[in-house]
């Protein structure tokens, strides 16, 4: 699913700042879903796991 989403957001001819913005938007959406589904503690532990 994420591959389909990123295929539409990232274009080979777009500049770097557009791609960085799209990646940030995806990350915000993912953490938003984690927050709604599992709460703030799970968001914090997910961030710790990513580090």
* pLDDT value for 13: 60
pTM of the entire predicted model: 0.60
Whether 37 is in a domain gets the answer yes
pLDDT of residue 22: 78
Q: Provide the number of structural domains found in the chain.
A: 1
Residue 36 falls within a domain, yes or no? yes
In a domain, 31, yes or no: yes
Average pLDDT, rounded, for the chain: 79
Distance CA 31, CA 37 (A): 10
* Domain span including residue 38: 19-51
| Largest interatomic CA distance in the chain | 39
Distance CA 3, CA 32 (A): 19
């Amino acid at each position: 699913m994420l591959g389909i989403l990123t295929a539409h957001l990232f274009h080979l001819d777009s500049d770097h700042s557009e791609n960085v913005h799209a990646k940030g938007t995806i990350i915000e959406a993912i953490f938003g879903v984690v927050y709604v589904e599992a709460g703030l503690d799970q968001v914090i532990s997910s961030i710790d796991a990513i580090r």
